[in-house]
């Protein structure tokens, strides 16, 4: 890259891209986690665990249900009952 992006601006861009990814996943409830795992090697649950791990690394306590709600846009159990189809597979 000929003009490197300043660190603060890069962080802002990365955060915006992350928010856009989360929003996209929340809007596309027809995409099942198992499909994401099979095609991309990660799913919404993985993303919530990464989010939680980063929070904990920074001294913030965040439970697994709280992290999942941030990623899913609602409590995980509610999302599963509304949108999960096929065999009930819970990727750990």
Question: Mapped to the 3 state alphabet, what secondary structure does the chain carry?
Answer: CCCCCCHHHHHHHHHHHHHHHHHHHHHCCCCCHHHHHHHHCCCHHHHHHHHHHHHHHCCCCCCHHHHHHHHHCCCHHHHHHHHCCCCCCCCC
Domains of the chain and CATH, by start: 32-82 (1.10.3340.10)
Model confidence, pTM: 0.85
Residue-wise pLDDT tens digits, 15-74 = 999 999 999 999 999 999 999 999 999 999 999 999 999 999 999 999 999 999 999 999
């Amino acid at each position: 890259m000929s003009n490197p992006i300043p660190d603060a601006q890069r962080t802002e861009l990365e955060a915006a891209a992350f928010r856009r990814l989360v929003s996209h996943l929340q809007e596309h409830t027809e995409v099942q986690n198992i499909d994401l795992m099979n095609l991309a090697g990660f799913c919404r649950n993985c993303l919530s665990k990464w989010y939680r791990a980063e929070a904990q690394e920074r001294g913030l306590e965040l439970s697994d249900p709280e992290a999942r709600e941030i990623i899913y846009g609602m409590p995980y159990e509610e999302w599963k009952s509304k949108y999960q189809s096929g065999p009930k597979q819970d990727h750990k």
